[in-house]
Structures are given as structure tokens and as C-alpha cells.
Amino acid sequence: MDIVVRPKILVVGAGFAGVECVRRLERKLGPDEAELALVTPFSYQLYLPLLPQVASGVLTPQSIAVSLRRSRRYRTRIIPGGAIGVDVKAKVCVVRKITGEIVNEHYDQIVLAPGSVTRTFDIPGLADNARGMKTLAEAAYVRDHVISQLDIADASDDEAERAARLQFVVVGGGYAGTETAACLQRLTHNAVKRYPRLDPRLIKWHLIDIAPKLMPELGDKLGSSALEILRKRGIEVSLGVSIAKAAPEEVTFTDGRVIPTHTLIWTAGVAASPLIATLGAETVKGRLAVTSEMCLPGHDGVFALGDAAAVPDEAKDTDGAVCPPTAQHAMRQGKHVADNVIATLRGQRMTPYVHKDLGLVVDLGGLDAVSKPLGVELKGVPALVAARGYHWAALRTGVAKARVATNWLLNGLAGDDFVRTGFQSRTPATLRDFEYTNAYLTPEQIRERTGTV
Ligand SMILES: Cc1cc2nc3c(=O)[nH]c(=O)nc-3n(C[C@H](O)[C@H](O)[C@H](O)COP(=O)(O)OP(=O)(O)OC[C@H]3O[C@@H](n4cnc5c(N)ncnc54)[C@H](O)[C@@H]3O)c2cc1C
């Protein structure tokens, strides 16, 4: 009897890039052509752009956790765990399963799509006192934490404590930070109706960024509109300012101000997943340097894309430009890399990835939004329709679409419940714990496991 050995394609990461890639491989490759496996710590694809709406309670966490198992057609073997190292010489990916067991997964082709983690700097106290906005657990934690502050302030008779509990600091004026600050400010603003003992004048949100402009991708006019909306709503926006140090009960800004607060949300950019460093290959600002076909030069069968890779931006004239870390690119790169993987299996030519940016949508909570789809500048309700319509259409399953639409409707009609679930109140709550940044092996440890020299 002949035993047919199928090439094994291993995809790492079930985010925008990884899931699009796997789905296309499943559709276009016959079951006899290749064996497909996906390494992912979670059994869902997280729709990250709607995370601020989970933090602010507009959406439930489940509604943006899109199932990986909602079809009988899906035939990929899902390995529940995280990749902690890759040896490209030995063609081995080291995986820590969710049980803690460490196993070697051999591959013929590997697609690296582990995304990014929150970028931090060496600022005293930051790692221990800041929370990010990158995982579902972080969003749920931040929501509980903010509601806790309202509850504690409401119950306290100590004026200083009430004031400190009701100040909140968000660092990062990109879309993630701006949406987070705007959506959460709305939550605390609406709380006044349900917390009659709270003095609304004490609730204060700070949004700070070291850059001179908020969301520069929006352009000057729309950026100013966003700034105006936030300031009108009482959010204190400080540009050209960062954090000098952070402590559990206060944050010091670089302009010398000391803010008594128990809430520091850090969204000042992203860095490629630490998995990339384990390859010991060339990087561009931490992202794996790949060709426009998304291949690692010098190593057959290694592809990387999304936030983790520096994919040349062929749609721009600028030399050395790389695609920005956005879902818009990651999804399209996912499809394209699948075509290139198939091309190599079938001995065909790979093609370069080219995509011209379609713009940006920013939901600021309530009826406030600014958007720039295809270069058209919108604000207010038309921008909100563009933002929500875009995200709704981009959700992958009908069930996820239904959950999100129902949540939007319900929240619009009934408002927030201010329920503090307490699920995570006793678990560690640092960026490290949420994003597993210390889980990875060094290149030497990987070589020891795989036996390569
Ligand atoms: C709050 C927020 C708002 C945003 N808003 C927008 C927006 O409006 N528009 C836009 O275009 N982009 C937006 N982005 C950016 C966008 O979400 C990312 O660029 C996009 O998710 C990148 O896709 P990816 O597949 O590379 O990574 P991800 O979607 O992050 O997926 C990576 C996956 O890999 C998994 N993973 C991580 N490490 C490992 C490992 N070691 N082993 C196995 N699996 C691993 C993760 O669990 C995750 O499932 C936003 C991001 C945030 C945080």
C-alpha cells in the first residue's frame, strides 16, 4: 500500500491574518494536497477594532470573539497553545500547549501571523501599573476596573479618595487610545444617572500623547474635529506629553503634573510578537523583514505577515515604506499569503502583495465619530454609520454580526448596566500577564530542543 505524505502547512496565530490565510487554504487546496494546522491559544478570532466597545460595555466580550469552529467545512487541525519559538533550519515550531506541555511541531511551510503586543518603554512603574487594550481579558478587566472606581468613589466619604478614583489616564493618541478614552469617558459620564452620590465635576479623563497631533492618519481637518469633539466632552487632551513615572495611586506626566489616579491605560503603539525574535532573523523595528511576497529571504517555506512582519508597502512611492499594522492590511495579506503558499506547493510563481489604504474609521461613542473612507472626510452620524457599517460587514460570521447588531441596539435603547463582574479581581493584572510576553524561548533554548547547531 502506498503511503501518501502530504506537505504540512503550519499557521501560527488566529487573528485577522492567520484566519484569512487558513480559510483560503481550506477552500483552495484539496485535502490530498496538504495537511493544515493552526496554533492558537484561543478558539476564537478577536475582532480587535471593537475592543474599546467591550471595555465600555457597549458590546459583550463574546460578541467580538468570533468562533473558529462554526462550520463543518473547516478541516484544519487546531492546536490549542502558543508558539514559543521557531527553528527555521530544523523546520520546527516549539509550542506550549494550554496544558503546559511543550511539543515540537514539524512543518514544511510555516505562516507566522502572531500579531503584536503592547509596546512599552523603560518608564518607572509602567509595567506594573498600566493596563493595555490588546486582549479580550484586558478589555473585560479594564471595564470591571473602571466600574470599581465608580463604586469605590460612590461609597467613600474621603474627598481625596473620591477625586483620585474618578480620574483616569489614557496614554496613546492613535485610534486605539482615542477610541478607548472616548468610549470609556462616555461610560463614566452616563454613570452619573445611576450613582446619585457622585459629583460629575470630579470625573476627569486625560488623553495624552508625545506626538503633536491626534491620529495623524486622519489628516489635519479631521484630526482637529476629533480633538474638538473630545475636548467638548470634557476629555483633557495633552499633546507633546508622556508619562515620567507611574505608581499605583498616581501618575507623573513629563510636563511635571502629578495626577492622583488608580487607572492608567497604556495604548502607545504596538511591537511585533516576541515570537519573531526567536527566529534570530533580520527585523525592521522588531517586525520580521520579509519580501513583498511575504517570504523570509534565504529560508524556503517561511512566510510572515500582519502586525508581526514588515511587509513592503508597494502601493507607496517611498523607498523602504512598510505596511502599517492594521486589520485592513492583515486580512488582505492573509488571503494573499495563502495564494503564495499554494503557488510554491504547485511550482507556480508567487506574486507581490499590493494594497492601497482604504482609510480609517473612528467610533468615539454615542453619536460621535470621525471617518475617512476612500479619502472622504466624514464626522458625526455619517461617520458613525461608516464606522459601524464597516466593522459589521468585516465580522466573519453571521452569528457574530447578529450579536454585535443586537448589542448596539440594546445599548442604544437601554444604556449601560454598570455591572462589575469581579471575575478577574484577584488575578494578576499587568501587561505581562495579559499578553504572555515572558513565555518565549531564546534561540539557544530552541536549538537545544531541536538539536540543531
Ligand atoms: C483597540 C484597537 C483598535 C484597532 N482598530 C483598528 C481599526 O479600526 N482598523 C484597523 O485596520 N486596525 C485596527 N487595529 C489594528 C488591528 O487590530 C491589527 O493591526 C490586526 O489585528 C493585526 O492582525 P494580525 O493578524 O497581524 O494580528 P492579530 O489580529 O492580533 O492576531 C494575532 C493572533 O495571534 C495569536 N498569537 C499571539 N501570539 C501567539 C503565539 N505565540 N502563538 C500562537 N498564536 C499567537 C493571538 O492570540 C491572536 O489571535 C486596532 C487594534 C487595537 C488594539
Q: Give the whole-angstrom CA distance, residue 211 versus residue 188.
A: 26
Q: Are 131 and 429 in contact (CB under 8 A)?
A: yes
Give me the pLDDT at residue 303, please. 98
Q: To which residue does cell 440594546 refer?
A: 410
Pick the CATH number of 8-118+271-357 from 3.30.56.10, 3.10.129.10, 3.50.50.60, 2.60.120.650: 3.50.50.60
Q: Give the whole-angstrom CA distance, residue 367 versus residue 364.
A: 8
Number of H helices, E strands in the chain: 12, 24
Domain borders along the chain are: 8-118+271-357, 126-268+359-376+413-433
Question: Is pTM, for the whole model, over 0.85?
Answer: yes
* Tally of residues, the chain: 453
Give me the pLDDT at residue 73, please. 82
- Look at residues 109, 105, 113 and name the one whose alpha carbon lies nearest to residue 79: 105
State whether the beta carbon of 270 lies less than 6 angstroms from ligand 1: no
Question: Strand (E) positions, 290-445?
Answer: 302-304, 309-310, 359-363, 369-373, 378-379
Rounded to the nearest integer, the mean pLDDT of the chain is 94
The three grid cell numbers given for residue 305, joined into one nine-digit string = 505577515
Give me the pLDDT at residue 318, please. 84
Please name the fold of domain 126-268+359-376+413-433: FAD/NAD(P)-binding domain (3.50.50)
Convert the pLDDT of each residue in 128-165 to its tens digit: 999 999 999 999 999 999 999 999 999 999 999 999 99
Residue 64 CA to ligand 1 centre (angstroms)? 13
Does residue 380 have a pLDDT over 90?
A: yes
Residue 116 CA to ligand 1 centre (angstroms)? 6
Convert the pLDDT of each residue in 177-196 to its tens digit: 999 999 999 999 999 889 98
Whether 8-118+271-357 shares its CATH topology with 126-268+359-376+413-433 is answered yes
3-state class (DSSP) for residue 149: helix
Reported as type and span, the H/E element at residue 77 is strand 77-87
Ligand 1 mutation pick, 16, 107, 336, max ligand atoms within 8 A of CB: 16
Give me the pLDDT at residue 414, please. 92
Average pLDDT over residues 96-113: 97
Q: What percent of the chain has pLDDT over 70?
A: 98
Q: What percent of the chain has pLDDT over 90?
A: 84
Does residue 317 have a pLDDT over 90?
A: no
Give me the pLDDT at residue 102, please. 96
